[in-house]
Amino acid sequence: EAGVVQSPRYKIIEKKQPVAFWCNPISGHNTLYWYLQNLGQGPELLIRYENEEAVDDSQLPKDRFSAERLKGVDSTLKIQPAELGDSAVYLCASSSDGPNTEAFFGQGTRLTVV
């Protein structure tokens, strides 16, 4: 079984440019998370999907960040425009239905804004 797949692995962009990250969760996993991880810190939730519905986006900076999960499978996270402070690792995770189920993480996308 393939794990959570993210692309790209690395991205370097200039500030004020747009950037997009893609995530393909484990097949059959209806719950999808986007987390942000700064260096030396724990992952922080940006948005959580149940199927195609964003059920928790309270920590998503909506002025510049957007996400979508069309058809309840793949998801895209976008930043426009990017700022220097957005440099971090963006992790996608997925889990199966029901409470207290293991969240499986992708390799992450390391974003550097210069």
Partner 1 sequence: GENVEQHPSTLSVQEGDSAVIKCTYSDSASNYFPWYKQELGKRPQLIIDIRSNVGEKKDQRIAVTLNKTAKHFSLHITETQPEDSAVYFCAAQIGNEKLTFGTGTRLTIIP
Q: Binding segment for partner 1 among 20-28, 64-72, 77-85, 102-110 (CB under 8 A)?
A: 102-110
**Which residues in 50-89 contact partner 1 (CB under 8 A)?**
50, 56
Radius of gyration in angstroms for the set of CA atoms belonging to the chain, rounded to a whole number: 13
Residue 91 beta carbon to partner 1: minimum distance, rounded to whole angstroms: 7
* The only residue of 40, 70, 71, 85 in contact with partner 1, by rule CB under 8 A: 40
**Which residues in 5-24 contact partner 1 (CB under 8 A)?**
none
Q: Binding segment for partner 1 among 20-28, 39-47, 62-70, 78-86 (CB under 8 A)?
A: 39-47
- Binding flag, residue 41, partner 1 (CB under 8 A): yes
CA 22, CA 7: separation in Å to the nearest integer? 5
Residue 94 beta carbon to partner 1: minimum distance, rounded to whole angstroms: 12
Cα dihedral 73→49→67→9 (10° resolution): -60
Contact residues toward partner 1 (CB under 8 A) are 4, 31, 33, 40-45, 48, 50, 56, 91, 95, 97-108
